[in-house]
Chains A and B, each alone.
Chain A
Amino acid sequence: MSLWEYANPVKFLRLSERVLPWLWALAVLCLGSGLAWGFFGTPDDYRQGATVKIIYIHVPAALMAINGWFMMLVASLIWLVRRHHVSALAARAAAPVGVTMTLIALITGAVWGQPMWGTWWAWDPRLTSFLILFLFYLGYMALWSAIEDPDTAADLTSVLCLVGSVFAILSRYAVLFWNQGLHQGASLSLDKEKNVADVFYHPLLLCIAGFVMLFLALVLYRTGTEIRVRRTRALRARQGAGV
């Protein structure tokens, strides 16, 4: 009995069907209580007023956007090394979830930035690298959908994911360098970890846990869908062949 057994689609489906209801329930529980606590149970920040409450969506979404890419990287590596189809499909399933998280982080960031810095967008290193991450996600998904043969697509997107990860890290440092040279860090120094007091911290943790559960549940669910889609296509192809 090892973890690799779940590379078998049937076993994977059976496991995910057993786990999914719990994940959904946990996600709803964590997110619901965390958001409720955050929105109604915590005081307004003395400097930022009520807008600080966007943090409960913004930070977890940003976290999951990066971790989503990381998960895809791991899944791609597993596919390249051990060629488990579930792994490739999981990477494919994670991409739209990840891009949504990135978008949520970008939008909530803009909504938050408007009253705070007086601008919707600043070419700040952090923001810019997220925009680049968004582009990476788009390219990755576009490549998946552009190729007919699923194994070829899995191979190509896996390599793209590896190369993209290297360049994502490189871009991160390049962007830091680029902006420090132009105008030193705007007002972004109100860093989350440093500034958040315990009152905000606990509901934030709960929200992050909720987002993690939500992410896992969505990815598991979508992976199951991908497996079924592929199975349907195989059945169709067999029928079409006129057995």
Chain B
Amino acid sequence: MRALLLRDLRLALRAGGGFGLGLAFFLIVVVLVPFSVGPQPELLGRIAAGVLWLAALLACLLSLDRILALDFEDGTLDVLATAPLPLEAALSVKALAHWLTTGLPLVVVAPVLAVLLNLPAAGYGGLVLSLLLGTPALSVIGTFGAALTVGIKRGGLLLSLLVLPLYVPTLIFGAEAARRSADGLDATTPLLMLAGISAGVLALMPFASAAVLRVNLR
């Protein structure tokens, strides 16, 4: 498992694009927002939490088809499917690798970009915490979407369509938690819900992902 994780991480770091691209996209969205809604600081501060969450989600969405597509093309997935490691575990590792290369950097960079959007000082902790709790769910759900569409040519757009409704609860609770803490309110409830979603998804989703991947590899 560790070998698989290290391999995926190394590939993501060295194969170019994948790792930095998500961050760059995150930056682009955040920079474009003031141009589209106007530069008033108080307006930006009000929408900052939501915009940051949306940008993180889109950046995550952008990198989803890289989770499995390349491995599917060169046959690595077939090897994984026949390996002694259960496919569920392999997919969990792949989701973890995706999170480490996409989700975690977003969490780290988010406070810096929050400055650009004039997020109220009280909101930083809540923003980081909500992203930390929520982005794993995005990666795991995304792995399911990637497994679902891996056999389809140019499945990227379809992948977005399939995954988007599944992302709705995570986005709602994540953005709500960030917004509440930015407004100085108690954000415990949405954070707990977010943690619940992540935990539930982590526990159950790999089975669904493995099931659809087996069908696709048949």
Near A by CB (< 8 A), chain B positions 122-168 give 144, 148-149, 151-152, 155, 158, 161-162, 164-166, 168
With A139-B162, A170-B197 known to touch, is A155 a contact of B215 (CB < 8 Å)? Answer: yes
Q: Is there an interface contact between A163 and B169, defined as CB atoms closer than 8 Å?
A: no
Chain A contacts for B151, CB-based, 8 A: 147, 152
Chain B interface mostly: helix
Q: Is there an interface contact between B164 and A135, defined as CB atoms closer than 8 Å?
A: yes
Q: Which residue of B lies closest to A166 (CB)?
A: B204
- A171 at interface by CB-CB < 8 Å: yes
Interchain CA distance A26-B114 in the complex, whole Å: 60
- B193 at interface by CB-CB < 8 Å: yes
Contact with B along A140-159 (1 / 0, CB 8 A): 00110011000010011001
Chain A contacts for B26, CB-based, 8 A: none
Chain A contacts for B188, CB-based, 8 A: none
- B76 at interface by CB-CB < 8 Å: no
With A132-B168, A177-B173, A178-B176 known to touch, is A159 a contact of B212 (CB < 8 Å)? Answer: yes
Q: Is there an interface contact between B172 and A178, defined as CB atoms closer than 8 Å?
A: yes
Nearest-neighbour CB distance to chain A for B69, whole angstroms, equals 15
Q: Which residue of A lies closest to B163 (CB)?
A: A139
Interchain CA distance A174-B177 in the complex, whole Å: 12
Number of interface residues of B (CB under 8 A): 28
- B211 at interface by CB-CB < 8 Å: yes
Chain B contacts for A136, CB-based, 8 A: 165
Q: Which residue of A lies closest to B211 (CB)?
A: A159
Interchain CA distance A135-B160 in the complex, whole Å: 11
Chain B contacts for A155, CB-based, 8 A: 212, 215
Interchain CA distance A160-B155 in the complex, whole Å: 15
With A147-B152, A155-B212 known to touch, is A171 a contact of B176 (CB < 8 Å)? Answer: no
Contact with B along A59-82 (1 / 0, CB 8 A): 000000000000000000000000
- B14 at interface by CB-CB < 8 Å: no
Across the A-B interface, give the 4 residue pairs with the lowest CB-CB distance, nearest first.
Answer: A174-B169, A155-B215, A139-B162, A174-B172
> Could you give 24 example pairs across A and B, Cβ below 8 Å?
A135-B164, A135-B165, A142-B158, A143-B149, A146-B149, A146-B155, A146-B158, A147-B152, A152-B151, A152-B216, A152-B218, A155-B215, A156-B215, A160-B148, A160-B162, A162-B208, A164-B166, A170-B169, A171-B165, A171-B168, A174-B169, A175-B168, A177-B173, A177-B176
Task: Supply 19 further A-B pairs (C-beta < 8 A) apart from A146-B149, A175-B172.
Answer: A132-B168, A135-B161, A135-B165, A138-B161, A139-B165, A142-B161, A146-B152, A147-B151, A155-B215, A160-B148, A160-B212, A167-B165, A167-B169, A170-B169, A171-B169, A174-B173, A174-B193, A177-B190, A178-B176
